[in-house]
A and B are shown apart, each in its own frame.
Chain A
Amino acid sequence: MDTLALLADGFATSLSPLNLMIVILGVTAGLFIGAMPGLGSVNGVAIVLPLTFIVPPSSAIILLCAIYYGAMYGGAISSILLGIPGASTAVATTFDGRPMAQQGKAGLALIAAAVASFIGGTISVVLFTLFAVPLADLALAFGPAEEFALVLMAFTTFVGLGGDDKLKTIIMICLGLVLSTVGLDLISGQPRLIFGDLPGFYSGISFLVLAIGVYGIGEILYTIESSRTAPQVTPAKITLNDLWSGIKTMNRMWRTMSLGSFLGFFVGMLPAAGATPAALMAYGMARSTSKDPKSFGKGNIEGVAAPETANNAASTGSLLPMLTLGIPGSPTTALLLGGMVMWGLMPGPMLFIEQPDFVWGLISSLYTANFAAVAINIALIPLFVWALRMPFTVLCALVMVLCIVGGFAPSQKMHDVWLIAGFGVAGYLLRKADYPLAPLVLALVLGPLMEKSFRQTLISEQGNVLAFVERPLSGTFIAIAALFFVLPLVKYLRKGGRRSIAPAE
């Protein structure tokens, strides 16, 4: 086995004391960077970049990857504890992570996130190790038509089999798509829906702003209202026993986690997508294939496991096109690419042939990074949970501040702070009216990609709409999407026309 021999050589590199120390350092830094709302892995990697010049090139890249990895683990922490996504990739983790924390199961949710991240990371690194080069060809097979079909599939998983009201889900998707068209048209460059000439809208509506608004602020408003004068916070305690039983609970979720890993890896591999859409799609998939879709959004542990496996798998996946094709799959990998070029490592099809030491050293370091991240993360869980024992009156103010800082930091514009406030109120009202919020966020994330790939396909196929079904790969996705959409109807007919789609018996 050629690959295994190369990987063994790689471990000789990554297990050297310096590199091992670097991995532990990077993962820990990443964990905290990821946990801070508004400070994602992009900033983390950019800020640490100059420090890497004091170590050899391969160690430098290992450090950057370790931070990237650590941030994927860390994003879940504030999503679960505070209901504010720590990083864009952890938006889907708030859907069920936050309700779990409110039910006093924050520790379990954090364990689920850590273990799921570990599984996702490990499965994807194994895939990477075995199939990196052939998979690069699969990434190339994805043209605009395939991208569109994939996005369509993601939407139907939310509509078709979800437990929520279908009409309301579709309304929310449409609303999200409308929000995603705000800003400059991708193809012609003309401004759209900018409300006269409000400069803040030129760069569009960041979905992180929407997510912080509807989840962070909306959540606080809702909690204040539902608890009136004396807010109840379920005290969260955690013991070693809880840790162990939490890990055992994960044993039941192999199906969800392997689904999330594969999906995350493949979506992350596509240069246009990345970890955020991957996590949202995995959430949708987990819910639509679950026996009890109605419990999602109300604290189902699988709703934490699915996006967390997927975002870690996607972060490994996005390294694949960066290394094999020289095309970054995410903002962070674009930074890594710049660093590699600097050290004279030219990513692209020749990298695996010309620089095997570097490539395999990096791949093997992903294994060690995963072990380090899961160990550090679980060790710190009691500390994180302890933060929740603050009185609600204090926590509420803290969350409010973090929401505003987290929204302001990336763009440094007050415009986004006003938007967060607006979305917060809207989110609160929508939740009172029982509209699902996840499809709204999903549509804003995937909308630009969907619109662009749709138009690119129609332009290149001279307006032939059938192009989407004629190409084998995109045709398959469209067929699956159609299936997801009509399946509820079939179920409905089989059950002899009961009024609503009943949850599984």
Chain B
Amino acid sequence: MIYKMTRRAALAGVASIAMIAAGATSALAEGWKPQKPIEMVIMAGQGGGADRLARLFQSMIQKEGLASMPMLPVNKGGGSGAEALRYLKDNEGDAHKIMATLNSYFTTPLRTDIGVDIEEFTPIARMAVDTFVLWVNADSDIQTMEDWVAAVQASGGSWKMGGTGTGQEDSLLTAMLEKEFGIEVTYVPFDGGGDVAKNLVGGHIDSTVNNPSEQMGFFKAGKSRPIAAFTTERIDAFPDVPTARELGHDIVYSMQRSFVGPKDMPAEAVAYYTEMFSKLNELPEWQAYTEDEALDRDFLTGDALQAYFLEEREKHAAILADMDADGAS
């Protein structure tokens, strides 16, 4: 709770800075307005956490009239978001394309040779930081992290852990779990978190590390069970679910939900979108949604956001190097 309050205070601080920043940039934005529908590229498939969020933003922006043109969400989830990254790179200077990011924003360019350097892209705004929880099917006997580890060990490597694309968030977190507990699972990649959630409830995989929003519907219907949260503090929506850290396993991982533009996006357009997202950040509907779905609102823009991106890229490079080293041994 103490943490929660300090976080609120910090948020308020960030929000007020953002408002000042928005005030300053609005003068700049006077001159520029989108001339055609804005394409919102989503780095993931339909129905996952990233997709739901991007579409929620689209609806809110249109409902509140925050943009003068409609938003068209486009899913380009192929190859762990490589499809979207490459698309953004090929549309240099375009003022009508923005991209909703996940952590694969860092990992996919590191893992594949698609010729994308995220430092070139234009940071716009970070809206939230999402959390991860270990889930099993409600029919399973597993109630605790210990049960889970025991079950994985008993399976002799055939435990099916579902998640998003290889090298994406879910697989990184899974690799961290494998390392921490000295276990081995079979990782099955799917197109998006929604697909993963469905396959868990349908019994085609044994466990997942879905974001809370991806499992919330099934959880409320009593079809899936949260085992442990990979956060610093317990998640408000699941007060009875311990964090891994509480259980003595220091695994904390989060996912940023941000928007970026292509390389050399005109400055006036960047100012326009920054103002749009800072208004969005203030909406009561958005604030209510983040409470319900266990998301941390954490607004960040401009250079500070770029610095955060580059720092996260370093962290992910280290995690990936670790994974590769393990794979080789």
Contact = CB atoms under 8 A, between A and B. Distances in A.
Do A and B bind?
yes
Interface of A: 43, 46-47, 49-50, 53, 139-144, 183-191, 197, 199, 202-204, 271-272, 321, 325-328, 331, 334-335, 337-339, 341-342, 346-350, 452, 456, 459-460, 462
Contacts of B199: 143-144
B167 A189 contact: yes
A327 B197 contact: yes
Nearest to A462: B158
Contacts of A327: 46-47, 194-195, 197-198
Contact of A341 (B56, B113, B205): B56
A140 B202 contact: yes
Nearest to B87: A203
B73 A184 contact: no
22 contacts: A47-B37, A50-B62, A50-B65, A140-B201, A185-B79, A186-B79, A189-B80, A189-B112, A189-B165, A189-B167, A202-B86, A202-B90, A204-B83, A271-B47, A326-B47, A327-B194, A338-B54, A341-B56, A341-B289, A342-B56, A346-B216, A350-B221
B52 interface: yes
Contact of B195 (A185, A271, A331): A271
B79 A462 contact: no
Contact of A349 (B75, B82, B218): B218
Contacts of B298: none
B191 interface: yes
A346 B217 contact: yes
A50 B223 CA distance: 34
Nearest to A42: B72
B52 A337 contact: yes
B287 to A, nearest CB: 13
A350 B160 contact: no
Considering residues B46, B65, B72, B165, which has the most beta carbons from chain A within 10 angstroms of its beta carbon? Answer: B46
A190 B79 contact: yes
B232 interface: no
Ranked 7 nearest A-B pairs via Cβ = A348-B217, A338-B55, A184-B79, A349-B221, A143-B204, A189-B79, A342-B59
A206 B157 CA distance: 38
B73 to A, nearest CB: 7
A339 B54 CA distance: 11
B33 to A, nearest CB: 15
B90 A190 contact: no
Contacts of B87: 202-203
B111 A189 contact: yes
B46 A50 contact: no
B253 interface: no
Nearest to B94: A412
Interface size class of B (residues with CB under 8 A): 35 or more
B55 A337 contact: yes
Contacts of B70: 46-47, 49-50
B279 to A, nearest CB: 16
A23 B184 CA distance: 54
A460 B217 contact: no
Contacts of A187: 165-166, 189
Nearest to B217: A348
Given A334-B47, A348-B218, A349-B217, 15 more contacts: A46-B37, A46-B58, A183-B79, A184-B79, A186-B165, A189-B81, A189-B82, A190-B79, A203-B76, A203-B87, A326-B47, A334-B55, A338-B55, A339-B55, A456-B189
B34 interface: no
Nearest to A190: B112
A112 to B, nearest CB: 32
Interface string B77-114: 01111110011011000000000000000001001111
Contact of A271 (B90, B113, B198): B198
Contacts of B47: 271, 326-328, 334, 337
Given A46-B70, A184-B79, A460-B160, A334 B51 contact: yes
Considering residues A143, A191, A326, A339, which has the most beta carbons from chain B within 10 angstroms of its beta carbon? Answer: A326
Contacts of A272: 195
Contact of B202 (A46, A141, A347): A141
Interface string B147-168: 0000000000110100001110
Interface string B226-255: 000000000000000000000000000000
Contacts of B218: 325, 348-349
A184 B82 contact: yes
B82 A338 contact: no
A141 B202 CA distance: 5
Contacts of B56: 338, 341-342
B50 to A, nearest CB: 12
Contacts of A204: 78, 83
Contact of A338 (B59, B76, B90, B115): B59
A144 B62 contact: no
Interface string B174-212: 000000000000111111001101110111110000000
A50 B62 CA distance: 5
Nearest to B46: A334
A46 B71 contact: yes
A353 to B, nearest CB: 9
Contacts of B79: 183-186, 188-191
A140 B79 CA distance: 24
Considering residues B51, B72, B188, B201, which has the most beta carbons from chain A within 10 angstroms of its beta carbon? Answer: B188
Contacts of B201: 140, 325
Contacts of B190: 456
B247 to A, nearest CB: 27
B46 A331 contact: yes
Contacts of B80: 189
Contacts of A325: 198, 201, 217-218
A400 to B, nearest CB: 25
Nearest to A455: B189
Contacts of A337: 47, 52, 55
Nearest to A337: B55
A88 to B, nearest CB: 15
Given A50-B63, A338-B52, A339-B59, A350 B217 contact: yes
Considering residues A142, A186, A331, which has the most beta carbons from chain B within 10 angstroms of its beta carbon? Answer: A186
A347 B60 CA distance: 17
A339 B63 CA distance: 10
Nearest to B71: A46
Contact of A142 (B202, B217, B221): B202
A346 B65 CA distance: 23
Interface in B36-66: 37, 46-47, 51-52, 54-56, 58-60, 62-63, 65
Considering residues A139, A334, A335, A350, which has the most beta carbons from chain B within 10 angstroms of its beta carbon? Answer: A334
Contacts of A191: 79, 82, 112-114
A459 B83 contact: no
A342 B58 CA distance: 9
A142 B190 CA distance: 14
B204 A460 contact: yes
Considering residues B37, B58, B216, which has the most beta carbons from chain A within 10 angstroms of its beta carbon? Answer: B58
Nearest to A322: B47
B78 A186 contact: yes
Nearest to B36: A412
Contacts of B4: none
Interface in B4-43: 37
Contacts of A199: 86, 89-90
Given A53-B63, A184-B78, A272-B195, A338 B189 contact: no
